[in-house]
Every structure is written in structure tokens, then in C-alpha cells.
Amino acid sequence: MNRTGRVAVAIALAVLPLVAGDFYINLSSQIFVAAIFAASLNLLVGYGGLTSLGHASWIGLASYTSAWLYLKMGVGHMISAPMALGGTTLVAGIFGWIALRATGLGFLMITLALSQVVWGTAYRWASVTNGDNGLTGLTRPAPFGIDLDGAAAFYYFALIITAFSLWMMAKFVNSPFGAALRGTRDQPRRMSALGHDVWLIRWIAFVYSAFWGAVAGLLYVYYNKYIHPTALSLTNSAEGLLGVIAGGSGTLAGPVVGAAIVVIMKNYVSAYIERWNMLLGFVFVAIVLFMPDGLVPGLRRLWARWRAK
């Protein structure tokens, strides 16, 4: 997107709450959460060549840690946020070490198994997580005393966090480390021969990706003021993955667009079709079979062909 385009988007985002109703403002906040989630997952999938099916674990771990600290220990957000982020990143370090013992399909299976263990624990460890009832009565933070309970206020908060997160991820991707990560995706053996520690590069990418997943998790629990085990489900991880492949894993912006599409589809479609899961499944199959580069490049091609007629 060129400069004018970017400025236009920035202006549109800035004035949205002034022109749209609460429903659209809230929808946009949800899109922000999904955008950080999908973009962070894409650091692994698109740039690292490692497909993880356990990304939702980070949302869950960060959300539950924040919620538990508040409800059980009365800890305020200033302390619970870094603790939630730190704790989740620590667990990610361990999970990453385990999962990277195998690459390719082994990695995928292990991330799935690990995330299912976390999900199952969220359901069963009722004394901590309140099981199927979830944890309610949560609050949003009040940075500098500003109340974020209103839709517009939270929107701007989420917008700032999202912009910052994407900016940091862009730096990561454009850095020498990002180039090395892409190298390990394309020719891991060669990268080793050149002196790069492929395992360490992947592990760092895994942990970094999880950190931003945790950031998405905090935004998620602040937005909903509620956390339930379904947030850690395979379906949630799959929706993130859908956002990545729908938007195209080759760029940083692709997953953001993809995530927006998934959130909008979910919100609108569920009004007409009860079977969101089935639709999700069909969309997955359709995209993989017919538009493997993602919706965005696929649609662009269709658009170009239509223009040519």
C-alpha cells in the first residue's frame, strides 16, 4: 500500500468512533485483538515456516493469569499485566523447547497436543479456573486514570496497542534476525552450514510469537471482562490460522486483513447461520484447495483478470 493509502487508513481508523455506532466500534476492537493474534502466529507460520496449532494457548494463559491475579490476589493491572506476559512467555520457552525437538509434522502435533493439555486443564482445574463457568467480574485497566469501559475509549486503547505491536513485529521481520528466520524456513541445512544456529533462531521466534500472542490475550480478556476455556480451544487456534492463510502468510499485512475477514464473517454469519464451525471448516477446505496463497492474492488475481476483460 502506498503512502496515500496508509494515510487514508490511519485517518479512517482515527475517526471511526466519531462516525460509527457502538456495534461497529466494538467489532473493530475485536478485529484488533484478532489482528495481533494472527500477525503473531504468522511470525511462526509465514516467516518461520513452522505451523503451530496451539497459538490459542497464549491467549488462555495470559488471560487466566491476569484474571486469577485480580480475582484471587487482588492484584491491579499494573502488576498483573507484566506478570501475565512474563508467565506466558516463560511457559512458551518451555513449550518451544519441547515442540522444537521435532520439526514439520512432529512440531505441529506437539503444539496441538500441548495446547490441548492446557485447554483440558482449564476445564478441569476448577479450583483455579472455575472450569466451564469461566471467570467473571473482571475489569479493564485504567491507564493514567482513563476509564476504558466505554466502547470508544477501549477502541483507542486497543488501536494504540495494536499499532505498537504490529510496528514491533515489522521491525522484527525486517531485521537481520528476521532475514535469518526466513532463511531457516527456506533452506535450514544451508543456514546451518553458514553458521546460523537454526534451532535457537526457531526457539526465539517461537517465544517472540508467543509474547505477542499473550498481548492479544490481555487485550482479549480486557475487552470481554470474562475468560472461558473455549478461548484456548483448537477452534480458536484454527481461526487464527485461517486469518493467516486467508490473508496470505507472505506479508505482515496479510494476516491482519485475514483476521478482519474472519471476525467480520463470524459476526455477520452467526446472525444468519447457526453453524459457524461448519462454515469455518468449509472455508478452510476451499481456501486450501482453490486459493492457497490466500484470499488477498487470489482476489487480486481475479480483480486483475476482470479488469483485463
Under rule CB under 8 A, residue 172 binds another protein: yes
- C-alpha span between 220 and 115 (Å, rounded): 18
Cα 82 to the chain's mean position, in Å? 18
- Report the nearest approach of another protein to the CB of residue 143 (Å): 25
- Report the nearest approach of another protein to the CB of residue 31 (Å): 22
- Which stretch, 82-90, 143-151, 171-179, 254-262, contacts another protein (CB under 8 A)? 171-179
Cα 243 to the chain's mean position, in Å? 9
Under rule CB under 8 A, residue 163 binds another protein: no
- Which stretch, 10-18, 24-32, 182-190, 257-265, contacts another protein (CB under 8 A)? 182-190
Give the cell for residue 22. Answer: 457502538
Kindly tell me which of 212 and 222 has the beta carbon lying closer to another protein: 212
Kindly tell me which of 24 and 203 has the beta carbon lying closer to another protein: 203
Under rule CB under 8 A, residue 135 binds another protein: no
- Report the nearest approach of another protein to the CB of residue 270 (Å): 13
Scan for cell 447457526, then name that residue: 274
Question: Are the C-beta atoms of 51 and 238 separated by less than 8 Å?
Answer: no
- For another protein, which residue of 175, 299, 302, 303 counts as binding (CB under 8 A)? 175
Under rule CB under 8 A, residue 282 binds another protein: yes
Under rule CB under 8 A, residue 72 binds another protein: no
- C-alpha span between 245 and 268 (Å, rounded): 20
- For another protein, which residue of 109, 146, 160, 163 counts as binding (CB under 8 A)? 109
- Which stretch, 10-18, 30-38, 230-238, 260-268, contacts another protein (CB under 8 A)? 230-238
Kindly tell me which of 13 and 234 has the beta carbon lying closer to another protein: 234
Under rule CB under 8 A, residue 272 binds another protein: no
Q: Among 205, 209, 217, which Cα is nearest to 81's? A: 217
Kindly tell me which of 37 and 222 has the beta carbon lying closer to another protein: 37
- For another protein, which residue of 74, 137, 145, 176 counts as binding (CB under 8 A)? 176
Q: What is the largest CA-CA distance in the chain?
A: 65
Interface positions with another protein (CB under 8 A): 51, 53, 98, 101-102, 104-106, 108-110, 112-114, 116-117, 120-121, 124-128, 171-172, 174-180, 183, 186-187, 189-198, 208, 233-235, 238, 241, 245, 275, 277-278, 280-285, 288-289, 292
